[in-house]
Amino acid sequence: MFYKLAFSTFNALIALQMDGVNKKHWEQIYAHKSSNEVSWTQLNLGVAASFFNQAELASDAKLIDVGSGRKGMLEFWLNTGFQQLTALDVSANALKQLSDELLEQDLDKVTLVETDVLNFTSDASFDYWNDRAVFHFLTTEAEKQKYVEQVNRMAHNYLCIGTFSKAGPRKCSGLEISQYNPEELTELFGGQFELVDSKLEAHQTPFGTEQEFVFCLFKRKEL
């Protein structure tokens, strides 16, 4: 009992500490850097959009973009007629820019959630959980397992994870990251999800450099 309590307190402290450190970093980024000054900006969504299309969801599906930043998948989802959207980000500045730039007409279709994904609590069950370049910032086993628990609890149909590949950069936005291949992502998420597809993507940054991502699309296993 004591050990259980001590372990959960330890986990809660890790999450709180991470929230503090990460949040400050991301608030600074979105306060001081434009879209052209950050590596992850994509002019055209590539694999993330094609994997989403592959899922063939109805327009009333519940979709979440985890670590949406100031754009993420939201514009694409709104333009393709989806109406029950959640944008989650640890940065209030990112979400403010997202709502200012994209959502004036569509705010009623979007729920904005400012939180660390590891601390996110919701009764919602999402039909599509999208994460491009967020999971890879989790570098400890405890953080990775917590994320898997979050997904297992709230992602009820499809899960799309995009991270730097084994040939990708070792850091993102100056922070340490974990690189993956499809086998490792399947090992992590395969308890409750089966792999549908995986693809590498050579992302062209706004600075003219290339970063290799790996994307995996998973579907919840039938019970």
Ligand X SMILES: C[S@@+](CC[C@H](N)C(=O)[O-])C[C@H]1O[C@@H](n2cnc3c(N)ncnc32)[C@H](O)[C@@H]1O
Q: Is 98 near ligand X (CB under 6 A)?
A: no
Of 47, 85, 89, 110, the residue at the interface with ligand X (CB under 6 A) is 89
* Residue 51 binds ligand X, judged by CB under 6 A: no
When binding is defined by CB under 6 A, the residue of 46, 61, 72, 103 that contacts ligand X is 72
118-137 residues near ligand X, rule: CB under 6 A: 118, 132-134, 137
* Residue 22 binds ligand X, judged by CB under 6 A: yes
Alpha carbons 26 and 88: distance in angstroms, whole number: 13
Q: In angstroms, rounded to a whole number, what is the distance separating the alpha carbons of residues 219 and 198?
A: 12
Q: How far is the CB of 154 from ligand X (least distance, A)?
A: 14
* Selection from 137, 90, 128, 131 nearest residue 112 by Cα: 90
Distance CA 30, CA 70 (A): 8
Of 155, 156, 152, 153, residue with least CA distance to 191? 152
Distance CA(51)–CA(41), nearest Å, equals: 18
Site stretch for ligand X (CB under 6 A), options 67-75, 148-156, 184-192, 205-213: 67-75
Shortest Cβ 192–ligand X spacing (Å): 21
Minimum distance, C-beta of residue 133 to ligand X, in the bound complex (Å): 4
> How far, in Å, CA of 83 to CA of 85, rounded?
6
Contact set with ligand X (CB under 6 A): 22, 26, 40, 67-69, 72, 89-91, 94, 116-118, 132-134, 137, 172-173
